[in-house]
Structure 1
Amino acid sequence: MSRMNKTAAALLAVGAIGLAGVGCSEAEKAINKGGDTPCSEYTAQDADKKRTTVTKFLEQERGSDAQLDQNTVDLSIAAIDLMCGAQANPDTPIREADLTGALVPK
């Protein structure tokens, strides 16, 4: 491969990586299960993925045009963290997680 071809290939690779980074959050949101995410998957997510999951869940519940502020998302994350931590069944989707699951498996 000539030096010019190597340079062109490197530039194309850098450009592809840059384009992939731009749409990552939208791509993550598209494949994210939202409210159908089981507690076991949710608790293993990092903070950014939890935010994406909970935002999608809230949009599923309220409609995609819902106006969600940061407080609503933050409080929902805290509640779901608590509920999934108390769930007896780790396969329970976050939309169904509740504190009674700690006592009576669903």
Structure 2
Amino acid sequence: MIDPYSYLNGVFYLSQLLLSNFLFTLALLVYVIVSLVDMWKSYTRTSSKTDFLFFILTLITLFIGFLVSPFLALAFQWKRSRTKRIIGILLIAVPLMLVLVSRFL
């Protein structure tokens, strides 16, 4: 039988990992802030409503739910910068892999 709370336990573990590892959280925060600056520059250059929407949503999730903002930053950077895309993938994949490894060990 599947435990209905296993997903919530994984999210709780992920949030505990982020809170306990200050340097990793700081790296995620820097990545999100750099992406916010890129979003704002892109919006002022092109006046694209999509870029402004990404900026507002990322800014809101930065304060309401920090775990969502790196995903939004990665979605914004996906077609723009290969280096920032790889950094975002690594910053998101590392804690997810740690959660999966800890669950199966």
Report the TM-score when normalising by structure 2: 0.25
Which protein shows a greater Rg? 1
Larger helix percent: 2
